[in-house]
Amino acid sequence: MSESTYQPVHLLSEKSRRLGRDTFFWLLRSGALLGGDRINQRITPLTSARLHRWIRLLDARSTAFEIYPVSLKKCAEPLTYPKERTGPNIPADSTDPLPAGDYAWNIIDQERMLYIPVHIRNHKSTFTEIASTAEKPGRAHVKDLLPWNDLPSSIEQVVAERDCGYCMVTGSRSGTTEICTSWIFPPAWAILASNAMLIRKDLLDAFQGNAFGIDVDVSFSSASEPLQSLTALPLQDDYRIVILRDMGPVGKLLTGIDSQAFFRRPQFKAQFTGPDEYFLRQHFKFCLEVHFFGGDIRAVYPREVVYERIFELGIMGEKRLASFDDPRWETELGRELLECYWHDKLSTH
């Protein structure tokens, strides 16, 4: 399926809509949505090889998996979408961009079918969103950490001297562009100059909001190649800029997955030390966690909520079926239930 023709059958969560997702990965056994991506040449062209490498980066002990395209259809059971295979397994080392659409995520090892496929820390909130919760009840621990976000002047000075006034992402210089200093990974546990860098001020919000990151590691030629050591990489630096969501006009400053961070480009890498790869890697992992995982509509409408509405509308139980001009049919869940109702009626006649 191409991006221009794919239309999801399944109900999209707010997260999937907000991120403009057009590609979805479904756990084969449970039917749950593991995650999704917006994959086009402007945003993040995803390949099977890159997907497998990123999953191992996030969790080196993740269960081996295979993916293949599927088509979804609606049925009488709300928010349940039977899947039909529409193509062969996509090789784990394939570098062909994945077309937009739906994919089954099949755990290969039958003994690990019930394991969590990928262990991650967080898939809900960006760094910026976490900081914004400081004043909410029960978030005193976040508020206590906020002062650490203030950069000490001593670190700002070290970073400014090390980066020579250049944005480490784009190469823009302070004489012509407003440049500022940013932490790479929230600094409560790493108040170090190596955890900070100079960056264009107009990219700061996007960077701290995890809209893009720097993929430090090389793109291995084979997805079966073990990612044993993430601190002693074999062949060459990669440091590709990866955009995870639409950044608006400021995104034009970055040219996507084929754009290398300024300080690691071959013609400049001997001149610049730049920030430590460890912190860039942790930032990038967080970007992946926030944008790829989550978004299953059944987390928004758990089974008990769905069936409470089913009985309220009289689809099941002793109540008379609600009039079709009842506003409850016009809600997001109501429209889904109405489709399932008619599907059931038509399939039994």
pLDDT of residue 40: 52
Judged against a pLDDT cut of 60, whether residue 273 lies above it is answered with: yes
pLDDT of residue 236: 43
- Percent of the chain beyond pLDDT 70? 83
> If we measure between CA atoms, which residue out of 164, 176, 179 comes closest to residue 274?
164
Q: What is the pLDDT averaged over residues 85-110?
A: 92
pLDDT of residue 338: 92
CA dist 167 to 179, 187, 272, 285, Å? 7, 20, 11, 21
Judged against a pLDDT cut of 80, whether residue 43 lies above it is answered with: no
What would the pLDDT profile of 132-149 be if each residue is shown by its tens digit? 766 677 777 666 667 777
- The Cα–Cα gap between 132 and 49 comes to 36
CB 52 within 8 A of CB 92: yes
CA angle (122 as vertex; 117, 123 as ends), nearest 5: 80
pTM for the whole structure:
0.84
Burial of 211 by CB count in 10 Å (0-12 exposed, 13-18 middle, 19+ buried)?
buried
Looking up tokens 């038509």, which residue turns up? 346
Q: What is the pLDDT averaged over residues 255-261?
A: 71
> If we measure between CA atoms, which residue out of 199, 315, 238 comes closest to residue 54?
238
Q: What tokens were used for 116? A: 């969590």
pLDDT of residue 228: 42
* C-alpha count within 13 angstroms, C-beta hemisphere, residue 112: 12
CB 301 within 8 A of CB 308: no
Looking up tokens 């969560």, which residue turns up? 13
pLDDT of residue 186: 84
List the single range of 37-41, 65-69, 130-134 with lowest mean pLDDT.
Answer: 37-41
Judged against a pLDDT cut of 60, whether residue 233 lies above it is answered with: no
- The Cα–Cα gap between 82 and 75 comes to 7
Q: What is the pLDDT averaged over residues 21-43?
A: 78
pLDDT of residue 126: 74
pLDDT of residue 231: 37
More confident residue, 182 or 38: 182
CA angle (255 as vertex; 93, 48 as ends), nearest 5: 15
Judged against a pLDDT cut of 60, whether residue 234 lies above it is answered with: no
Taking the alpha carbons of 101, 301, 127, 226 in that order, is the dihedral positive or negative? negative
Judged against a pLDDT cut of 70, whether residue 220 lies above it is answered with: no
Q: What is the pLDDT averaged over residues 264-268?
A: 92
> If we measure between CA atoms, which residue out of 246, 314, 345, 336 comes closest to residue 10?
336
Classify strands 101-107 and 23-27 as parallel, antiparallel or unpaired: parallel
Q: What is the pLDDT averaged over residues 157-182?
A: 94
- Percent of the chain beyond pLDDT 90? 49
> If we measure between CA atoms, which residue out of 34, 207, 176 comes closest to residue 106?
34
> What are residue 240's phi and psi, to 5 degrees?
-80, 140
